[in-house]
Chains A and B, each alone.
Chain A
Amino acid sequence: MSSPTAPTEESARDEEVLRVVVRRRPYLWVVYAVLAVILVAAGYSAATNQRFGWGVVATYFLSSAILKGLLMTLELTVVSMLFGIVLGVLLAMMAVSRTRVLSTVSRGYVWFFRGTPLLVQLLFWFNLAALYPRLGLGIPGRDPLFSVGANEIISPFVAAILALSLHEAAYMAEIVRSGVIGVDRGQRQAALALGMRPARVMRRIVLPQAMRTIIPPTGNQTISMLKTSSLVSVIALSDLLYTAQSIYGINYQVIPLLVVASLWYLIVVSVLSVGQGFLERRYGRGSV
């Protein structure tokens, strides 16, 4: 104890036994209490307000009409997202290309399809026959090689897919482009220096790294598409919302049927969110 080093050893040992406690935040209990009150109130209201019509909700929730509508909504979402992503990737590749004409075409596409409302595009494709009654291929002034009536091929479903896909592609192009330009330039150079061709560099080196920044907004777009596809009710395509509307148009159970549609949208969005998290982990490999 009398030696000069003793006190420091003593204090060092004291520090070793000091206990660390997490800072207490008692005000959090107030937040929990308020939340609990709000939840209970909302639950009580939902349970006791007869106008929610939970019995009607239960009747229609798994009805074949609603399930068919749900299937249509899922089809529209999946098909439009697939076309949108493929076309979007293509447009993004054109946008980052050194070839001026390709990047200009890509910019023009994005300008046009992002610049007009989706609802307008939907109605436009649906009414294409008013602009071009017959669609065909040939040389102007001569009989076409073949032609068909626009109304024969542009069914409401085709019009919906066209509108949703082409519109989505414009947004996906921007998402993919930002992902690609976010990848370090050195990656491309290192890959080129190894003798890879530009297409391979893009496919094996740049895009997989860009995926990390592409996936979150793409998940967002898919969720958004699921709900935006309900716009097709204006062209009388029987998706989830249109089916619900058709049913309450007959039985006047407006609120219960909107609840049925909302519940299904929520369920599908939840599943999509889980899938997005899975993809994010898959493409986050190698990052710390």
Chain B
Amino acid sequence: MSSGHAPEMVRIRGVRKSYGSQEALCGVDLDVHQGEVVCLIGPSGSGKSTLLRCINHLDTVDAGSILVDGELVGYRRRGNTLVELSAAEAARRRAAIGMVFQQFHLFPHMTVLQNITEAPVGVLRQPVDRATARARELLDRVGLTDKERAYPAELSGGQQQRVAIARALAMGPKLMLFDEPTSALDPELVGDVLAVMRGLAEDGMTMVVVTHEMGFAREVGDSLVFMDGGVIVEAGKPRDVITNPVHQRTQTFLSKVL
């Protein structure tokens, strides 16, 4: 599915980010083409989650630029500087980027259906009946048709994560970001979530996935990016990186997770 000719969906150049004296990202360049599935792996603290959160501007960057579909997400360019956008403008651009979190973060005071329709109705101003119909389609897709009236606390972790995916998809995103979507799940629930993500990839969704699921990365990923210490150490076809890692650090990491 990956092709060098497809237009760039994400273009990251020279991104730096530090928390106090702690450098989380030290100059990251990365391209994600339309329809491509990029898996980010690496030890904890390597900067992969931070990079993901910078893509939709949940975190600010200190330097460098991130373009999504040719547009800066949280900034406006003025000469050689980037000026942070107002919260309203940033929100508008963020709406086209779906994000799924490790801890699901469903809204506990809303039913499954309300979780999914809240943003389409409140942000995109869709009519309620249309948003509801779309939500039911998405629930069908993630295999939770009978759960629309349930509250999140009544669902298993795997079901919650599938609702979270449906909630993100309801905004009609052009890019989906997954931040360790299966790390908080019991082992027997991981498969359902990965199956939904696999289906999305097959439908051509552009996805950036921070994950420890090497099987998923190998079978679904178009490219695999290994990060360590805030930089991209190695990137390439998943099969090549997994079977023939070039760098010592990649080899050490893979020997621990495989």
Residues of A whose CB lies within 8 Å of any CB of B are 184, 186-187, 189-198, 200, 204-205, 208-209, 283, 285-288
- B77 CB–A CB distance under 8 Å: no
Residue in A194, A197, A283, A287 whose Cβ sees the most chain B Cβ within 10 Å: A194
A199, closest chain B residue (CB) = B87
For the complex, what is the distance from the CA of A204 to the CA of B122, rounded to whole Å?
A: 9
Residue in B107, B110, B154 whose Cβ sees the most chain A Cβ within 10 Å: B107
Assuming the contacts A186-B103, A190-B101, A193-B56, asked whether A286 and B91 have C-beta atoms less than 8 A apart, the reply is no
A196 touches B153 (CB 8 A): no
Interface string of B86-111 (1 = CB under 8 A from A): 01100110111111010101111111
| B111-163 with Cβ < 8 A to chain A | 111, 118-119, 122-124, 151-154
A187 touches B151 (CB 8 A): no
Chain B interface residue count, CB cutoff 8 Å, equals 34
CB distance from B130 to the nearest CB of A (A): 17
For the complex, what is the distance from the CA of A288 to the CA of B99, rounded to whole Å?
A: 26
CB distance from B94 to the nearest CB of A (A): 5
**A285 neighbours in B (Cβ, 8 Å):** 109, 151
Residues of B whose CB lies within 8 Å of any CB of A are 56, 58, 87-88, 91-92, 94-99, 101, 103, 105-111, 118-119, 122-124, 151-154, 164, 167-168, 171
Q: Which 4 pairs from chain A and chain B are nearest by CB?
A: A195-B95, A190-B105, A194-B119, A286-B151
A286 touches B88 (CB 8 A): no
**A186 neighbours in B (Cβ, 8 Å):** 101, 103, 105
Residue in A186, A193, A205 whose Cβ sees the most chain B Cβ within 10 Å: A193
CB distance from B55 to the nearest CB of A (A): 11
B118 touches A195 (CB 8 A): no
- Beyond A186-B105, A194-B123, A209-B108, 17 additional contacts (C-beta under 8 Å) are A187-B105, A189-B101, A189-B105, A190-B99, A192-B94, A193-B97, A194-B95, A194-B119, A194-B167, A194-B168, A195-B171, A197-B87, A200-B122, A204-B118, A285-B151, A286-B108, A286-B110
A197 touches B88 (CB 8 A): yes
CB distance from A95 to the nearest CB of B (A): 18
**A191 neighbours in B (Cβ, 8 Å):** 107, 119
**A187 neighbours in B (Cβ, 8 Å):** 105, 107
B91 touches A195 (CB 8 A): yes
Assuming the contacts A194-B119, A195-B171, asked whether A205 and B94 have C-beta atoms less than 8 A apart, the reply is no
Q: What are 27 A-B residue pairs whose CB atoms fall within 8 Å in the complex?
A: A184-B105, A186-B101, A187-B105, A189-B58, A190-B101, A190-B107, A190-B164, A191-B107, A192-B58, A193-B56, A193-B97, A193-B99, A193-B101, A194-B119, A195-B92, A195-B94, A197-B88, A197-B91, A198-B87, A198-B91, A200-B123, A204-B122, A208-B109, A283-B109, A285-B151, A286-B152, A288-B154
B97, closest chain A residue (CB) = A193
**B92 neighbours in A (Cβ, 8 Å):** 195
A287 touches B171 (CB 8 A): no
**A200 neighbours in B (Cβ, 8 Å):** 122-123
Assuming the contacts A186-B103, A189-B101, A286-B153, asked whether A195 and B108 have C-beta atoms less than 8 A apart, the reply is no
A194 touches B108 (CB 8 A): no
**B171 neighbours in A (Cβ, 8 Å):** 194-195
B151 touches A195 (CB 8 A): no
**B96 neighbours in A (Cβ, 8 Å):** 195
For the complex, what is the distance from the CA of A208 to the CA of B110, rounded to whole Å?
A: 10
**B124 neighbours in A (Cβ, 8 Å):** 195
For the complex, what is the distance from the CA of A243 to the CA of B152, rounded to whole Å?
A: 53
CB distance from B68 to the nearest CB of A (A): 13
For the complex, what is the distance from the CA of A195 to the CA of B122, rounded to whole Å?
A: 10
For the complex, what is the distance from the CA of A109 to the CA of B122, rounded to whole Å?
A: 34
**A197 neighbours in B (Cβ, 8 Å):** 87-88, 91
The residue from B58, B97, B108, B119 contacting A196, defined by CB atoms under 8 A apart: B119
B120, closest chain A residue (CB) = A194
